[in-house]
Amino acid sequence: MTNILVITTSIFGAEGQSSQLVKRMLDQLRQAHGEAHIVTRDLATEPVPHLDATRFAALIAGADDRNDEQKRVVDYSDSLIQEIQDADIIVLGVPMYNFGIPSALKAYFDHIARAGVTFRYTENGPVGLLEDRPVYVLAARGGIYAGTPNDSQTPHVRSFLGLLGLKDVHFVYAEGLNMGDDRKTTALREAGENMANLTA
């Protein structure tokens, strides 16, 4: 059975366009892989705490030096990382808010980037420690940004996942969703076709 980790980030929940794209991708993956075990983490309804000095200190403290509260912080981070390690496929729904990723997703990223756990430093730069697996990034945007200097999302997400060792990353864009009904219909149709091609 295929294990799929789904991460959604839309402030509009299941009604958000990125969440709708996630649903369509899951339908495609079920057709391609058959029965699947799906773990869903909705960062909008169950947000990961934003990184602060206290949480950062807990994450870098030695195992024998952590107090009880620091252990809880690290255990929480470990649980997020374990979800990734258990997944054969990761599906990530990402709306664009003010040219960037949702702050909830940044908080999540901050809790899974752990030196010595998910990556390590070397003389030649950081090396990811997670085993590579397919990651599908479903990007919903009100305007047209892909391939332009205003698309800060794609390089950010690709670079971050690459830091952890996740390099088999596939982006599906649905753009121009706020530029009229015709454009929206076309964008969603093209996104669906791209998902079908990726999972064929």
The whole-number pLDDT of residue 35 equals 87
Under DSSP, is residue 4 helix (H, G, I), strand (E, B) or coil?
strand
What the block records as the tokens of 47 is: 């947000």
Do 150 and 184 meet the contact criterion of CB atoms below 8 Å apart? no
Of 18, 6, 11, 44, which is closest to residue 177 (Cα–Cα)?
18
The whole-number pLDDT of residue 37 equals 96
Do 22 and 8 meet the contact criterion of CB atoms below 8 Å apart? yes
Residue in this structure with the two tokens 């980037």, named with its chain if needed = 113
Of 89, 100, 101, which is closest to residue 6 (Cα–Cα)?
89
Phi and psi torsions of 64, nearest 5° = -80, -10
The whole-number pLDDT of residue 163 equals 97
Q: What is the DSSP letter of 47?
A: P
Residue in this structure with the two tokens 């952890």, named with its chain if needed = 164
Cβ neighbours of residue 59 closer than 8 Å, sequence gap 6 or more: 73, 74, 77, 111, 114
The whole-number pLDDT of residue 10 equals 97
Of 113, 130, 137, 122, which is closest to residue 165 (Cα–Cα)?
130
Do 127 and 84 meet the contact criterion of CB atoms below 8 Å apart? no
What is the distance between the alpha carbons of residues 86 and 122, in angstroms, rounded to a whole number?
26
The domain 2-199 having CATH identifier 3.20.20.70: the answer here is: no
Of 138, 154, 158, which is closest to residue 146 (Cα–Cα)?
154
Per-residue pLDDT of the chain (200 residues; tens, 9 = 90+): 999 999 999 999 999 999 999 999 999 999 988 889 999 999 999 999 999 999 999 999 999 999 999 999 999 999 999 999 999 999 999 999 999 999 999 999 999 999 999 999 999 999 999 999 999 999 999 999 999 999 999 999 999 999 999 999 999 999 999 999 999 999 999 999 999 999 98
Cβ neighbours of residue 146 closer than 8 Å, sequence gap 6 or more: 139, 154, 171, 173, 175
Domain boundaries, the chain: 2-199
The whole-number pLDDT of residue 200 equals 84
Phi and psi torsions of 125, nearest 5° = 110, 180
Under DSSP, is residue 35 helix (H, G, I), strand (E, B) or coil?
coil
What is the distance between the alpha carbons of residues 26 and 6, in angstroms, rounded to a whole number?
9
